A and B are shown apart, each in its own frame.
Chain A
Amino acid sequence: MTLDWSVVWDNRWRLIAGAEMTILLTAITMMLALPGGLILALLRLSPLRAVRSATTWFVEFFRATPLILQIYWMFYVLPAAFDIRLSEFATALLGLTLNVSSFNSETFRAGIQSIRPGQWNAGLALGMSKPQVMRKIILPQATVRVLPALASTWVSLFKDTSLVSIIAVADLSYVALKIRSETYRVLEVLTAMAALYCLMGYPQAKLVDWLHRRLKVTE
Chain B
Amino acid sequence: MSIRTETPTRPRIGSDAAPILSFDNVCKRYGSLDALAGVTFQVNRGEVVCLIGPSGSGKSTLLRCANALESIDSGRVLMDGRDVHDRRTDARNLRRRMGMVFQNFELFPHLTVLRNVAVGPTTVLRMPAAGAAARAMELLRKVGLGDKAAQYPAALSGGQQQRVAIARALAMQPDVMLFDEPTSALDPETIGEVLSVMKRLADEGMTMVVVTHEMDFAKRVGNWIVVFDHGKVVEQGPPRQVFEEPTIQRTRDFLSHLGWHGESLAASDLLVPAPSGSYEHRTSD
Residues of A participating in the B interface, judged by any CB pair closer than 8 Å: 118-119, 121-129, 132, 136-137, 140-141, 144
Contact = CB atoms under 8 A, between A and B. Distances in A.
B150 to A, nearest CB: 18
B68 to A, nearest CB: 9
B110 A127 contact: no
Interface of B: 64, 67, 69, 92-93, 95-96, 98-100, 102, 104, 106-110, 119-120, 123-124, 168-169, 172
A132 B108 CA distance: 14
Contact of B172 (A121, A127, A140): A127
Contacts of A140: 110
Given A137-B108, A140-B110, A141-B110, A125 B69 contact: yes
B72 to A, nearest CB: 16
Contacts of B109: 141
A128 B168 CA distance: 13
Contacts, number: 56
A92 to B, nearest CB: 37
Contacts of B110: 140-141, 144
B96 A126 contact: yes
Given A141-B110, A144-B110, A128 B123 contact: yes
Contacts of B106: 118-119, 121-122
A140 B110 CA distance: 7
Contacts of A124: 69, 95
A215 to B, nearest CB: 12
A136 B110 CA distance: 10
A128 B123 CA distance: 7
Given A132-B123, A141-B109, A127 B92 contact: yes
B102 A122 contact: yes
A192 B64 CA distance: 64
Contact of B120 (A118, A119, A127): A127
Q: Which of A127, A140, A144 has the most CB of B within 10 A?
A: A127
A127 B96 contact: yes
23 contacts: A119-B106, A121-B100, A121-B102, A122-B100, A122-B102, A122-B106, A122-B108, A123-B108, A125-B69, A125-B98, A125-B99, A125-B169, A126-B123, A126-B124, A127-B93, A127-B95, A127-B172, A128-B92, A128-B120, A132-B123, A132-B124, A141-B109, A144-B110
Contacts of A118: 102, 104, 106
Contact of A125 (B93, B100, B107, B119): B100
B108 A126 contact: no
Contacts of B99: 125
Q: Which of A122, A124, A137, A141 has the most CB of B within 10 A?
A: A122
A119 B102 contact: no
Contacts of B92: 127-129
B100 to A, nearest CB: 4
B239 to A, nearest CB: 27
B95 A119 contact: no
B136 to A, nearest CB: 13
A101 to B, nearest CB: 25
Contacts of A129: 92
B168 A126 contact: yes
A125 B123 CA distance: 13
Contacts of A123: 108
Contacts of B64: 121
B85 to A, nearest CB: 15
